[in-house]
Amino acid sequence: MHFRFLFLFAMLMGSIFCTSAPVEGQTPTDSKKLANSLIGRWDLTVKGTNSTYPSWLEITRSGSRTLVGSFVGQVGSARPISKIEIKDGKFHFSIPPQWEAGTEDFVFEGTFENDRIQGTTTLPKGRKVDWVGVRAPSLKRTQPPVWGKPISLFNDKDLTGWKARQVNGTHGWEVKDGLLVNAKPGQDLVTEKTFTDFKLHAEFRYPKGSNSGIYLRGRYEVQIEDGYGHEPESHEIGGVYGFLTPRINASKPAGEWQSIDITLIGREVTVVLNHETIIDRQTIPGITGGALDSDEGKPGPILLQGDHGSIEFRNLILVPSETDGSTTLTAPREKK
């Protein structure tokens, strides 16, 4: 009996110390309810100084009571959030800079209401921007797509069907000897047409050390970069930038023509580089840095990254879906 009493006492004390203490003015039930509501993926729109830009946030649970996450800003790739705090009906977290200048953390504070989130980010030097977020759609397909007729995105003669990302800006894209060439890096090139599900074939060639990319629906970057002989990595050639790592590096040396075939159905992507399947039906969690927008439920264009390095394209062929069997249901909520 004595040992049984000690065992029960130890279990009771352990449960006390393993339970988060409630914040003053906030019951554990309120805190848990807010935490459950926040779990999921969120498409953000940030109100910058001169314009709006897209962002993305995912909140998950680590263990039984700690919220963690992942964040994608205007540029760069997904960066981890080590802990998300809940206090006085608000959630808070901070992340260090990635490609941004300075050493100060970015501090986020937000609220949840009517299945939406909104808040403020305090940037280095005290500057603040506001943002709003909606649940990211699941993009799950209820049936396989019916593929339509192939479309040639490039006519080998001029830039018909394409436009600069910034309408009033100049760019270095030109047609030379039947090739689409980014002769003077400066701006991205975007198709005038938009697409939902599709199969895309492209052939490309770049000089040593160059860097480009293909954005699917203008939101998800498949990296194209001189990385011959490197270990596979999500930021290297063929990866979905910062999210999905190729199983092998199937690239060729700089200066050689290479081919890439990408199939996108909902969030599910398959990437074949130089006839080698390197990503097979994996899920893209959210937008990557540099995306045109965060409205993931809508069709989007093909975007060729032009602000990093020189590159040549040819044989840009897209097969669109005629019926994609799509649903705009949001990602499933975790049960409370």
pLDDT in tens, 16-43: 333 333 434 445 568 899 999 999 999 9
- Across the range 147-153, mean pLDDT stands at 97
* CATH topology (fold) of 22-135: Lipocalin (2.40.128)
More confident residue, 160 or 48: 160
* Residues paired with residue 320 on neighbouring β-strands, in sequence order: 198
Give the per-residue pLDDT at 13. 39
Mean pLDDT taken over the chain: 89
Give the per-residue pLDDT at 12. 37
Least confident of 47-51, 76-80, 103-107, 241-245: 47-51
Copy the structure tokens of residue 267. 């969030």
Give the per-residue pLDDT at 28. 56
Least confident of 3-12, 165-174, 213-222, 268-277: 3-12
Phi (first) and psi of residue 266, to 5 degrees = 65, -120
With a cut of 90, say whether residue 332 has pLDDT above it: no
- Across the range 163-174, mean pLDDT stands at 88
- CATH number, domain 146-323: 2.60.120.560
Least confident of 24-38, 185-199, 271-285: 24-38
Q: How confident is the model at residue 324 (pLDDT cuts 50, 70, 90)?
A: low
Q: How confident is the model at residue 203 (pLDDT cuts 50, 70, 90)?
A: very high
With a cut of 90, say whether residue 138 has pLDDT above it: yes
- Across the range 47-74, mean pLDDT stands at 94
Rounded CA separation 135/269 (Å) = 21
- Across the range 60-71, mean pLDDT stands at 95
How is 11-70 classified by DSSP, letter by letter?
A: HHHHHHHTSPPPPTT--HHHHHHHHHHH-EEEEEEEE-SSSEEEEEEEEEEETTTEEEEE
Burial tier of 225 (Cβ tally within 10 Å: 0-12, 13-18, 19+): buried
Q: What percent of the chain has pLDDT over 70?
A: 88
Report how far Cα 221 is from the mean position of its chain's Cα atoms: 8
Question: What are 221-234's pLDDT values in tens digits?
Answer: 999 999 999 999 99
Same topology, domains 22-135 and 146-323? Answer is no
With a cut of 60, say whether residue 320 has pLDDT above it: yes
Give the per-residue pLDDT at 305. 97
**Domain boundaries in the chain?**
22-135, 146-323
Record the pTM: 0.88
Least confident of 16-20, 111-115, 241-245: 16-20
